Structures are given as structure tokens and as C-alpha cells.
A = this chain, B = another copy of it.
Amino acid sequence: MPRITAAVRTERRQHIIEAAWRCAARKGFGDLTVDEVCAEADLSKGAFYGYFDSKQALLLALLEEDAAFLDQIMERLGATAISNVERLRRFTRAMLERGEEPARVQVRADLWAAMLTERVVRLRFSTSVRHRREVLRGWIGAAIAAGELVDIPANAFAAVLLALGDGLALHAGLDPAGFRWPNIRRALDLLLEGLAGS
């Protein structure tokens, strides 16, 4: 018989994750200490390790949460009755909004470094990126078939869009002052419009 219910346990775990996000917003995940997260979450270190096996496990939890955001957007857009090009446009917009959150970008950058270095982390998340590319590819293919889009290599274009999302997020994080988001959105709209089918 646990002293706390499963719901409370989940909630408390979430509480730690949110504390970690706040800490990461300040110093990035790399320079983050477990002690710090514990302090932010008002929790002892021992208790922390009751919820996460290691610091890396915490990183993975943050990443999962971060990935879920785009997946949800995709699912919702997929179920909305709009043209495929409009779907692409809205998805691009969503990626931009996501890129305006500095804390997320910091954690993501650490993830990227970890992914490139550690095979385990890379395998775990490359599948999720591939899934997203696959969905995008479907939308693009459908748009081409419907004559909404010029004949463009669908998979490559999907890869370009996803890369653009992360690239913009990264650059925005590196130089926030140099980013005029309305203009960026306008530029991306023009890019998409330029691909409109005959």
C-alpha cells in the first residue's frame, strides 16, 4: 500500500519536470545540477532519485515532453478539414512559436549534442523525427497530387521544413534581439506561396 496515490506520484514527478524546465531556462541543461533542480522543486536529492534513475533520465523526460508538443499539433492539424498547403503553413507557424521559447531551445540544444554523441539517445529520438517527416511527406504528396504544390521531392521538402524549424529556433536562441518574428513569418509565407502549383 503506497502512502501516496499513483496520481499524486505522477503529479509530483511532473512537478520536478517543471522545476527542471525553469532551471534549464536559466543555465541550460548541461550546466544544471541535480541539487539545483531539487531546490527548485522543494525536494531532497534522495526523493529525486526516487522519481528518476539518473540525471539523464530527467533529460529524456524533458525531451519526451518537448516532442509531444509538435506531435499533438500534427495530430490536430491532420484532423482539421483544411487544404494540405494550409496544413503545412500552420505547422510551420507552430514550429516558429515553439522556437520562441528559450528554455526549450536550450534543452533541445543539449539534446542535440547528446544525440550526436550517444547512440542510445539518438536511436530513441530519431524515430520520432522520422515519424514527423513521414506525416509531413504525406501532406506534401497529397498537396502535389491535388495540384496545390509544384512537383517537389516530398521527403526532402519535409526534411527541409523540419530542419528549418530547429534551425530558426536555434538562431533565435543565439541572437534573440536580431529576430523580427513577423517578418520571418512573412518570409516563410512567401516561400510557401512561391511553391504554389500551376
Contact = CB atoms under 8 A, between A and B. Distances in A.
A78 interface: no
Interface string A157-171: 101101111111011
Given A116-B105, A159-B184, A163-B168, A122 B174 contact: yes
Nearest to A116: B106
Contacts of A125: 174-175
Interface residues on A, range: 35 or more
A159 B174 contact: no
A72 interface: no
B30 A113 contact: yes
Contacts of A130: 175, 178
A194 B187 CA distance: 12
Interface string A97-131: 00000000110011011111100001001100110
A183 interface: yes
Identify the 3 closest CB pairs spanning chains A and B, nearest first: A167-B167, A194-B194, A156-B183
